[in-house]
Copies of this chain bind each other. A is one copy, B any other.
Amino acid sequence: MKQLTIIKIGGNIVDDPIALEQFLIKFNQIPAPKILIHGGGVMASEMAKKLGIETKMYNGKRITDFETLKMVTMVYAGWINKYIIAKLQQIGCNSIGLSGADCNIVPATRRSPEPVDFGYVGDVNPSKINNGIIINFLGRGICPVFCAITHDQNGSLLNTNADTMASSIAIAMSKDYSTKLIYCFEKEGVLYNQEDPDSIIPLITHKRYIELQNEGKISGGMIPKLDNAFAAIENGVSEVYIKHAKNLENDRQTLIK
């Protein structure tokens, strides 16, 4: 099967113009076909503050009321997405900025308001992704760049977790491509010792993941990220990497397999 590389970048890259520019140059050197998925949490929090929107969180997850939905759509689908496209076009990477609503590529289901109402938050079922549209873009040498805004097919946009957006798209694409998913992270991989940046765990299998959790070596925000990584591996994605964007071209990383 043909190879496909999917990279997800978060706030530590998209909020920093210099880091973003350096990343995009490296991204451009990766052989096509490829897909970029971006988050952008810090900028959204700043914009919320400027607009006087209270940032409501529950267990580290943003609660998206209508004003917050409007703001994240402006920040993610508007400025960040189109800024990335303009920068990619400049360096010769023909790209298209997309939300999940465009061509109905990523339909989502609004999360149940029970037990906690997260508001306009969408969960994605990878089997519902319209990957034919993505395949068409890739076949024409166009690089899709997704923000993590989806829709419910009933007229509402929905805010979606960018890590989940990335794993869902990777799962959907793995039917047609041998898919490699790279999560660019603030750290250089999954660390065995949070105090030691060199303690990168080179390989985590599902068995090792359970052990590491039992040892208390993996906790907090790393658990949903690794859950997304294992969901990808268990549903057809060939390899998942967790690494820092600055190490895109070398092997300093955690391989999830």
Chain A residues within CB distance 8 Å of chain B: 50-52, 70, 73-79, 81-83, 85-87, 89-90, 94-99, 101-104, 136, 140, 142, 149, 151, 153-157
Asked whether B77 lies within 8 Å of A81 as measured between CB atoms, the reply is yes
Complex-state Cα separation, A151 to B84, whole angstroms? 11
Q: Across the interface, which residues of B come within 8 angstroms of A89, CB to CB?
A: 101, 104, 151, 153, 155
**Distance A150 CA – B50 CA, assembled complex (angstroms):** 26
Contact of A87 (CB < 8 Å), options: B77, B87, B155: B155
Q: Is the CB of B103 within 8 A of A142?
A: yes
Taking a contact as CB atoms under 8 Å apart, the answer to whether A99 and B82 are in contact is yes
State the copy count for this chain: 2
Q: Is the CB of B155 within 8 A of A86?
A: yes
The listed residue with most B CB atoms (<10 A of its CB), out of A51, A86, A99, is A86
A87 to chain B, nearest CB (A): 5
Partner of A74, one of B74, B86, B90: B74
> Considering only CB atoms, which chain B residue lies closest to A150 in the complex?
B86
Q: Which of B51, B74, B90, B102 contacts A96 (CB 8 A)?
A: B102
Q: How far is the CA of A227 from the CA of B76 in the complex (A)?
A: 35
Give bound CA distance, A136 to B137, whole Å.
Answer: 11
Shortest 3 CB-CB contacts between residues of A and residues of B: A78-B78, A74-B74, A90-B155
Q: Which residue on chain B has the smallest CB distance to residue A142?
A: B103
State whether B82 touches A77 (Cβ < 8 A): yes
Q: Give every chain B residue within 8 A of A136 (Cβ-Cβ).
A: 140
User: In the complex, what distance in Å separates the CA atom of A76 from the CA atom of B99?
Assistant: 14
CB distance from A77 to the nearest CB of B (A): 5
- What residue of chain B has the Cβ atom nearest to residue A70's Cβ? B79
Q: How far is the CA of A39 from the CA of B124 in the complex (A)?
A: 31
| B86 lies within 8 A of A157 (CB) | yes
Contact of A157 (CB < 8 Å), options: B83, B149, B154: B83
